[in-house]
Amino acid sequence: MSVYSAGGTSRYITESVNRFDQKNEFFKRARWDSSLKDEAERFYGTVCPRDKQGYKLKDLALRDAAWYIEDAFGHGCRIHNQGMLSWETLSKEQRCIPADLRLDTTDAKATSQDVKRVAILFGASLVGITELNRTWIYSHTYDALTHEHKEFDLPGEYRYAIVLAFQMDYNLVRTSPTWLAQATEGVEYSRMPFTTSMLAQFIRNLGYKAIPSANDTAISIPLAVDAGLGELGRNGLLITKKFGPRVRIAKVFTNLHLKPDNPIEFGAMQFCSICKKCADNCPRQAISSGERSTKPHNISNAENQLKWPVNAERCFSFWSNNEGSCMNCVRSCPFNKPHGRIHDSVRWLIARTRLLDSTFVKIDDLLRYDRKVLSDYWAGE
């Protein structure tokens, strides 16, 4: 159970939570669960272009190119401590800074500001810090390539998680579930090893330890909630104040003494109890339109958490059929909208009163913000 804040993840933890086995995370499960064999083969297998806007050769080429850095050098969707996400610092020959130098960091607030400034310079859109709640570290790891499954822990000296959110392109997300939408997802997954490895190296250069991490090592969303980046939504995703769920999350673990941020609340979780747009726009009814529940759908849901559990089996069956991912539950979320006077005013009101929630949902419906919009990304088509 979170002991690090009054808000944050303690808002939805009901009892003590067992650490989650990475083998049961759905993308790992699809690699070993024989009941998912056909769907997994379609999802992970060769994909051919279709004669349909958003699914043509250029769309597919863009999507796969966007994932290139993650697939070739990052491996953060596969397993920890590989490629650019290595836990090792550069060798003595590769560094110009003497190894025995160490920055005096008695002012944790100033150090945290420096770290955040560097994270933004290196490509993060949002940065928060939390004292690491070890509940969110995987109990076991599962290598999607070698199928190696083993007990896991992170050394206790890594007391802090710097959590980074990367915003995805609004117009491309609006094309979900096409392959065009997946290009912006791939870009941000490729940005993760780039940004987190450089941030980790910056911290190592100050004389401290740091581990860069994408989807590996620990569950990102609760860490992001505790680090003050947002709230947990009905769609099972982090809802940030600035970009809604239109983000991807990575983190850096460190022993550098930092000042944790407070979790934030801006009405998102309450708004979700009225708004069901993600559930309505899900092609497989994988998102609950009822009340929050502690009851898991299957082994891919964590237990003892009062939230809207997403049925990953249904979700994946659509992804398989689509031969690619889907972001309808991001696209349709009213918090997804870009910065602007009207949208910012609505966000401001949602943070202060519950009285207008259903009106805002109706206006959003009326203006069809949730609909799929196929952008003219490729001019001339």
Residues that bind ligand SF4 (CB under 6 A): 233-235, 239, 271-272, 275-278, 282-284, 286-287, 310, 315, 318, 326, 328-329, 332-335
- Minimal distance, residue 38 CB to ligand SF4, in Å: 17
> Which one, 113 or 289, has the nearer CB to ligand SF4?
289
> Which one, 163 or 275, has the nearer CB to ligand SF4?
275
Per the rule left: phi > 0, alpha: psi between -120 and 50, beta: everything else, 190 is alpha
DSSP 331: H
Which residues fall within 8 angstroms of residue 268, CB to CB, at 6 or more apart?
Answer: 230, 231, 233, 239, 335, 350
Which residues fall within 8 angstroms of residue 140, CB to CB, at 6 or more apart?
Answer: 21, 22, 23, 149, 150, 151, 152
> Which one, 59 or 143, has the nearer CB to ligand SF4?
59
> Which one, 259 or 284, has the nearer CB to ligand SF4?
284
- Minimal distance, residue 276 CB to ligand SF4, in Å: 5
- Minimal distance, residue 238 CB to ligand SF4, in Å: 10
> Which one, 200 or 237, has the nearer CB to ligand SF4?
237
Residues pairing with 307 in the sheet? 293
Residues pairing with 60 in the sheet? none
- Minimal distance, residue 180 CB to ligand SF4, in Å: 15
What is the dihedral sign for C-alpha 347, 350, 356, 361?
Answer: positive
Q: Which amino acid is at 205?
A: N
- Minimal distance, residue 75 CB to ligand SF4, in Å: 23
Report CA-CA distances (Å) from 48 to 119, 218, 295: 38, 34, 39
- Minimal distance, residue 34 CB to ligand SF4, in Å: 22
> Which one, 80 or 276, has the nearer CB to ligand SF4?
276
